[in-house]
Structure 1
Amino acid sequence: MTPFVAELVGTALLIIFGGGVCAGVSLKKSFAQNSGWIVITMGWGLAVAIAVYAVGQFSGAHLNPAVTLALAFNGDFPWVDVPTYIVAQFLGAIIGATVVFLHYLPHWNETDDPSVKLGVFATGPAVPNPFANLLSEIIGSFILIVGILAIGANKFTDGLNPFIVGFLIVGIGLSLGGTTGYAINPARDLGPRIAHFLLPIPGKGSSNWSYAWIPVIGPALGGSFGGLFYKAIFLGKMTTAFWYVLIATVVVLAIVLIQQGKTAAYKQPKNILM
């Protein structure tokens, strides 16, 4: 199996299990309906573990552009291979989301709420606030990458690393996922969102493209900085890329905050003196 095929298959498995648990918990007349957030976080944790077990030996099982970028910035992965991995991850995510759609085929007609249907495929904010939502994705992705690198630095019984990484995903979901649904992976969100847009889902409504940039940019920035932070603080190897990515992250957050303030001011009702 080539690394491209491995990343495609691994990411597809990730979304089949992860999107599948979202569908089971959310869609009407599923036996798992309303089983709750803990079930979703456990489902995603197991999704990551199973996908890593499946393809780790072939590609390293990045399954996430944020992981690929972090390793490339760290010097642990060649930049020339980054586009190949990312394309495979997005294609795999679209394929995985399509499988979830087919598996739950009768349940889309049974479910009336378009937002519930979208939630099977893509994340969204509990409280819409672009600055806070972006910051949440940055923090979650930063923790993800630092956690993965820290786990990798420890010695476990052979074969346990993917299982421990799965628990990291559960921990992030339980502790940090309640704000945005913790995409922490551009492919995990954008790939299924594209599938939602393209698939003939009955009564599906909007794919919420106005929010779609947050679970892409946030994980890319947070993941990249997480890798550089680990290298600088844990390993004592400071690089100029650390400062470039940190500055880029701060600038993007500042632009979003300023733009959000302007939008709020524009929407504020004006007092008219008669």
Structure 2
Amino acid sequence: MSVVLKDSLWRYFAEFVGTFILILFGDGAIVASTLSSQPSFGFIMVSWGFGIVLAIYAVGPISGAHINPNVTLAFAVTKRIKWVDVIPYIVFQILGAAAATSVLLVWWGDVITRIDPPPFLYADIGAAFFTQYPEPGFWPQYWPKSYLPNVSSAGILYSQVNQIFPLWKGAFAEALMTFLLLLIVVAVTDPDSPFYSQSLAPWAIGIGYVMPFLLFEAQLTGGMINEARSWGPMLALYLFGYRTGAFNFRGEYFYVYGIPDFIGGILGALFWDHVLKPYLRFVKNINKK
């Protein structure tokens, strides 16, 4: 095995480990809180923040700690990584998230299956592992008690939810928050920035990841801004026995949680590179003179 291939495998495995840490902390807090009698929103937010900080510290020196397909794709578009690494990075991120979800299912699976017997998955439990739009924990009046197989009931549900929460609102929220996340990521990791610090960057990114939740987006879309967070748990739950139910409500994983996040992340990185960073270069040149 060549040295180059060995190096690549270590980096890919590091993305697996980093995403595993993030999802274990973040989704672990959501599941534990959701299944308790007194859910704690603050506890969930702090867990996500520490999850991303610790993941970056753990694997950042090896792979860059993308732990998010949006980061990987945006970095490829802006030539921060090679395109050949994009697919492996994303695959290992999803597998890391699926592995973390599998651990949570080992811990909580018996409780969850008592509440939600497979193959159907109730909305609140589904959102505990990945995300839904609208977020059922905050908008239960527009959400079903379960994903009903009855076509007429489902049709009424779709009509009601679409009137209050059309897909474009969720897509805009995810795109905007992912834009801001990538703007923060590239700004604090750019050596040309006067605030660049390898030791403090994980905290800045952790806060940047959590703030959309703390502000408002968690109440709307669950604040995914990370496809691995959704696709990995969905894969694990499918293998666990949930073959239907909460996996593609209104096609939202294409229209809300897929393309908008990728576009927002790319635009966030490009905004730094071509709008904000040129001014830093201008100021540096002026100071040199």
Pairwise TM-score range, normalised by the shorter structure:
0.7 to 0.9
Secondary structure at the aligned position of 1:212 is classed as helix
- Residue 219 (structure 1) aligns with: 261
Among 86, 90, 96, the alignment partner of 1:92 is 96
Please report how far the alpha carbon of residue 99 of structure 1 lies from its aligned counterpart in structure 2 after TM superposition. Answer: 1.2
- Residue 23 (structure 1) aligns with: 31
Q: Distance in 2 between matches of 1:154 and 1:74?
A: 20
Contiguous gaps of at least 5 residues in structure 1: 238-274
Q: What whole-Å deviation, never above 9, does each CA across 1:46-90 have from its counterpart, x for those lacking one?
A: 111111111111100000110011111112111121111111111
One-letter identity of the residue aligned with 1:211:
E
Q: Distance in 2 between matches of 1:235 and 1:39?
A: 36
Q: Distance in 2 between matches of 1:50 and 1:204?
A: 34
Q: Does 1:128 align with 2:136?
A: no
One-letter identity of the residue aligned with 1:138:
A
- Residue 201 (structure 2) aligns with: 161
Q: Does 1:59 align with 2:63?
A: yes
Among 165, 183, 196, the alignment partner of 2:237 is 196
* CA spacing shift, 1:199–1:128, aligned 2, 3 Å: farther
Q: Distance in 1 between matches of 2:125 and 2:220?
A: 19
Please report how far the alpha carbon of residue 208 of structure 1 lies from its aligned counterpart in structure 2 after TM superposition. Answer: 3.2
Count of aligned pairs: 232
Q: Distance in 2 between matches of 1:89 and 1:158?
A: 22
- Residue 36 (structure 1) aligns with: 40
* CA spacing shift, 1:158–1:60, aligned 2, 3 Å: closer
One-letter identity of the residue aligned with 2:268:
G
One-letter identity of the residue aligned with 1:233:
V
Q: Does 1:107 align with 2:115?
A: no
Please report how far the alpha carbon of residue 151 of structure 1 lies from its aligned counterpart in structure 2 after TM superposition. Answer: 2.2
- Residue 276 (structure 2) aligns with: 234
Paired residues for 1:239-258 under 5 Å:
none
Alignment TM-score, normalising by the size of structure 1:
0.77
CA contact (8 A) 1:145 1:226 kept: yes
Secondary structure at the aligned position of 1:104 is classed as helix
Please report how far the alpha carbon of residue 172 of structure 1 lies from its aligned counterpart in structure 2 after TM superposition. Answer: 1.7
* CA spacing shift, 1:115–1:204, aligned 2, 3 Å: farther
Q: Distance in 2 between matches of 1:199 and 1:212?
A: 20
Alignment TM-score, normalising by the size of structure 2:
0.74
Secondary structure at the aligned position of 2:219 is classed as coil
* CA spacing shift, 1:122–1:45, aligned 2, 3 Å: same
One-letter identity of the residue aligned with 1:200:
G
CA contact (8 A) 1:12 1:93 kept: yes
CA contact (8 A) 2:174 2:224 kept: yes
Q: Distance in 1 between matches of 2:278 and 2:170?
A: 31
Among 192, 212, 215, the alignment partner of 1:172 is 212
